[in-house]
Amino acid sequence: MVNEEGVTHSTTTPQGVAMATTTETETITRCARCGRRLRNDSPDGYGPKCRRRVRKATRSTELGQYKEHLVEKAVELLEQGGLIPLRKTSKNVVFLAVSSDGATAYRTAMAACTCPAGLRAAYMCKHRIAAHIISLAA
Ligand SMILES: [Zn+2]
Ligand SMILES: [Zn+2]
């Protein structure tokens, strides 16, 4: 297996971007996971490599601890690009979890979530599971 992530991505200088002749520089899409620039539109916000990693993570046995329908919803959330990374601390990544209708957004980390279920801490909500999946894809 080739470690595709090991490829050092060349940091493009502002001048180096000149290869794109169109003026679409304002709409630079970056991978939600690695921050690499995406050439194509991405429905989930990931580049092809990161998408593969995330997909693989969704099949991890570690997720067996969660309710199956919640894992499915977490995967759905990720496929919709509903989990946007906000910042990274040493051991936690904070995400913005956007509801499918785009009306509400919660702050989510693997350890906590500001959605109603998360605040009650009754169970692992789909947002936290999605954050877990991302951490598994790391
Ligand atoms: Zn990526
Ligand atoms: Zn939540």
Nearest ligand to the CA atom of 38: 1
pLDDT at 78: 95
135 Cα: distance to centroid of ligand 2 (angstroms): 16
53 Cα: distance to centroid of ligand 2 (angstroms): 22
Classify residue 2: in a domain, yes or no: no
Classify residue 117: in a domain, yes or no: yes
Number of domains forming the structure of the chain: 1
Nearest ligand to the CA atom of 126: 2
Classify residue 6: in a domain, yes or no: no
pLDDT above 60 for 8: no
Query: Letter for the amino acid at 25?
Result: T
pLDDT at 26: 60
Classify residue 13: in a domain, yes or no: no
Nearest ligand to the CA atom of 30: 1
pLDDT above 70 for 58: yes
Nearest ligand to the CA atom of 120: 2
Going by pLDDT thresholds of 50, 70 and 90, the confidence category of residue 67 is: very high
Q: 136 phi and psi, to 5 degrees?
A: -70, -25
Classify residue 3: in a domain, yes or no: no
Q: Report the mean per-residue pLDDT for the chain.
A: 82
pLDDT at 100: 74
Q: What is the pLDDT of residues 102-137, one digit of tens each?
A: 889 999 999 999 999 999 977 899 999 999 999 999
Ranges of beta strands (E only) in the chain are 29-30, 37-38, 83-88, 93-98, 105-108
The boundaries of the domain holding residue 105 are 18-136
